[in-house]
Structure 1
Amino acid sequence: MRYVLLFHYSEETDESIGEEAIAEGMRAMDSYAATLEQAGILVTGQVLQPSTSSTTLTLVDGEPRVQDGPFADTKEQLGGVMVIDVPDLDTALHWARQAPPATWGTVEVRPGAVHTDSGTWVPSV
């Protein structure tokens, strides 16, 4: 079954984090991704640019409204995701506990679903 690991952590600037901490975080994430890949469970992963670089689309009375930046004004951002393919939630939680963002933020574990030929969404298996 596929699970999406969503990495949430505080919105910081490069200056507030510092070059050394950024480099250490990048090394930790590279190592984590390599570990998931070696275990044969990594489907895909994506690091996201800061939320300030996002564009949000909403419909107001059926008309699109495009806004620069995130929709919600929060102190945390969604910083990246990993999709893993493991047998069950306990195994997904095992791997989520090892994610570096667990030490500086939150790792949300959410089951994935796939769209079938019949037009329905079902849990991935």
Structure 2
Amino acid sequence: MTQYFLTVPHDSADEPTMASMQEADPAELAAVIAAVDEFNTALKEAGAFVFAGGLYPPSTAKTVDPTSGEPRVLDEPFVEAPQYVGGFWIIEAADEAAAVEWTTRAALALQGRIEVRAFQEPPAA
């Protein structure tokens, strides 16, 4: 089975945090959390779940840059962009159509856009 990377985009202008999530309507937030939990359960029951997680926003990133000959640790993301990956799932699916079906379910659970891409196959030996 192929592994797929489902990414959850966020707007860089408004980095969501646990504190800012508390400002959301509690009923709406509870509904999204329940929908995502239901989605995760379905993934696990189908044997498609590999790993998932949320990421802190880019303002917390460190980038290690060795291009000058000596590694430097920079307190910044490697690229500035209007959006960033805020969370992800890694799933296994038989084919792209199945991965898109799972992605559709994830998008409905989160009520937002989700990108899906296959992991590259390892090079032939």
**Which interval holds the TM-score relative to the shorter structure?**
0.7 to 0.9
Instruction: Say if 1:6 and 1:80, in contact at 8 Å, map to a contact too.
Output: yes
1:90–1:9 Cα change, 3 Å: same
Deviates more, 1:11-20 or 1:76-85: 11-20
Residue 99 (structure 2) pairs with residue 103 (structure 1): no
> Which of residues 94, 99, 123 in structure 2 aligns to 1:87?
94
TM-score by length of 1: 0.74
Find the counterpart in structure 2 of residue 54 from structure 1: 61
Find the counterpart in structure 2 of residue 73 from structure 1: 80
Find the counterpart in structure 2 of residue 39 from structure 1: 46
> Which of residues 19, 33, 45 in structure 2 aligns to 1:26?
33
Matched residue SS, 2:71: strand
- Bigger helix fraction: 2
Equivalent position amino acid for 1:9 in 2: H
Equivalent position amino acid for 2:10 in 1: Y
Deviation string, structure 1 residues 77-111 (Cα, Å, up to 9, x no partner):
2111111111100110011011147633x322111
Residue 7 (structure 2) pairs with residue 6 (structure 1): yes
TM-score by length of 2: 0.74
Equivalent position amino acid for 2:3 in 1: R
| CA distance, structure 2, for counterparts of residue 108 and residue 67 of structure 1 | 28
Instruction: Say if 2:9 and 2:85, in contact at 8 Å, map to a contact too.
Output: yes
Instruction: Say if 1:4 and 1:81, in contact at 8 Å, map to a contact too.
Output: yes
Instruction: Say if 1:58 and 1:66, in contact at 8 Å, map to a contact too.
Output: yes
Matched residue SS, 1:63: coil
| CA distance, structure 2, for counterparts of residue 63 and residue 3 of structure 1 | 35
Deviates more, 1:82-91 or 1:51-60: 51-60
* Matched pairs, number: 116
Instruction: Say if 1:56 and 1:67, in contact at 8 Å, map to a contact too.
Output: yes
Report the identity percentage.
Answer: 27
